[in-house]
Amino acid sequence: MLNHEDVAIKLEAGNTSSTHLWREAQIYERLGGCIGFPKLYWYGSHEDDNVMVIDLLGASLEQVLNLCGLKFSLKTVLMLLNQMESISRIQTLHSYYLIHRDLKPENFLLGVNGSAGILHLIDLGLSTKNIHSITGEHIPYKDGQKLVGTIHYLSCNAHMGSKEKKYRHIKKKKLHTMPAALCHGLFKEFHDFLLYTCLLAYDQDPDYHYIHNLFCVVFKMLLHKDWSWLHGKSKKTGQWCLGTNVQPVSTAFF
């Protein structure tokens, strides 16, 4: 880089039949300028590898959760939801008629330096269109599809539409765990949110305004803005949780 900034470099074997890295680079290029997505600097071939160069980001939500003793405060959770940090990234993708297909805490990363409080969505190689490019119609639902993404984060509908028997115990657990059980002890709005998402039709667009208002009710009760990793020590390590001076994580986490 001519400005000597640190970047993340993602490699893929050049002899692979996979198009994941190429697809990811194409999507980053389309999303150029959108808040909460890394900037694409270059994609091409070098020696025997396909190479993508993007912004270097900070720790993932998974890493931060571990540092904070495997528990975020209610205020932190609400800031992730009510400020639309995580949900707005999904909304942005949907506005480009794309679905991520591998949403999980490891794929939401904090920025660094001045953007430490901004959540970024990464790892778009499995993303695909949900609208037909010619007809403009929603891609129809099909049974018997191969599972795509990280198994334990897949939705019930994804498991129901697959014939892969080796994951039937995960499907059974998901199908028999009701929103009321998952949200026990939480504000009613968390239950309403989960129930709403579970009842969405396959081709139905989420009502993001409704989701925002749900958590706005709870957020106003607290009247605080305090990121867990910006203040306080990790219960697990005794060290201060990640803050605005958080160091970038290895590109291995991409």
Please state which CATH class domain 61-230 belongs to: mainly alpha
pLDDT mean over 171-198: 93
pLDDT tens sequence across 240-252:
344 433 333 322 2
Q: How confident is the model at residue 78 (pLDDT cuts 50, 70, 90)?
A: confident
Q: From CA 130, how far away is CA 96, in angstroms rounded? A: 9
| Dihedral of alpha carbons 130, 162, 177, 126, sign | negative
Specify the pairing of strand 49-55 against strand 40-46.
antiparallel
The pLDDT value recorded for residue 250 is 29
221 pLDDT higher than 90? no
Q: From CA 206, how far away is CA 119, in angstroms rounded? A: 20
Helices 87-95 and 208-222: crossing angle in degrees, nearest 10, is: 160
**From 48, 49, 55, 102, active-site residue:** 102
232 pLDDT higher than 70? no
pLDDT mean over 180-202: 93
pTM: 0.84
Q: From CA 178, how far away is CA 3, in angstroms rounded? A: 52
The pLDDT value recorded for residue 245 is 37
Q: From CA 16, how far away is CA 224, in angstroms rounded? A: 49
pLDDT mean over 197-222: 89
222 vs 206, which has greater pLDDT? 206
DSSP state of 240: B
Q: How confident is the model at residue 253 (pLDDT cuts 50, 70, 90)?
A: very low
The pLDDT value recorded for residue 82 is 55
pLDDT mean over 219-238: 60
6 is catalytic: no
Q: Name the CA radius of gyration of the chain, rounded.
A: 19
Is the CB of residue 8 less than 8 Å from the CB of residue 52? no
The pLDDT value recorded for residue 167 is 86
Select from 3, 40, 17 the least CA-distant residue to 124.
40
158 vs 51, which has greater pLDDT? 51
7 pLDDT higher than 70? yes
Is the CB of residue 50 less than 8 Å from the CB of residue 11? yes
pLDDT mean over 51-70: 94
Q: From CA 71, how far away is CA 58, in angstroms rounded? A: 19
Please state the CATH superfamily assignment of the domain spanning residues 7-56 in this structure. Answer: Phosphorylase Kinase; domain 1 (3.30.200.20)
pLDDT tens sequence across 89-145:
999 999 999 999 999 999 999 998 877 778 999 999 999 999 988 888 999 988 888
57 pLDDT higher than 80? yes
DSSP state of 101: S
The pLDDT value recorded for residue 156 is 86
The pLDDT value recorded for residue 247 is 37
147 pLDDT higher than 50? yes
Domain boundaries, the chain: 7-56, 61-230
Neighbours of 37 (CB within 10 A): 21
Q: Which residues of 75-84 are buried (b: 16+ CB within 10 A; e: fewer)?
A: bbbbbbbbbb
The pLDDT value recorded for residue 252 is 27
When the pLDDT of each residue in the chain is averaged and rounded to a whole number, the result is 84
Select from 134, 104, 146 the least CA-distant residue to 122.
104
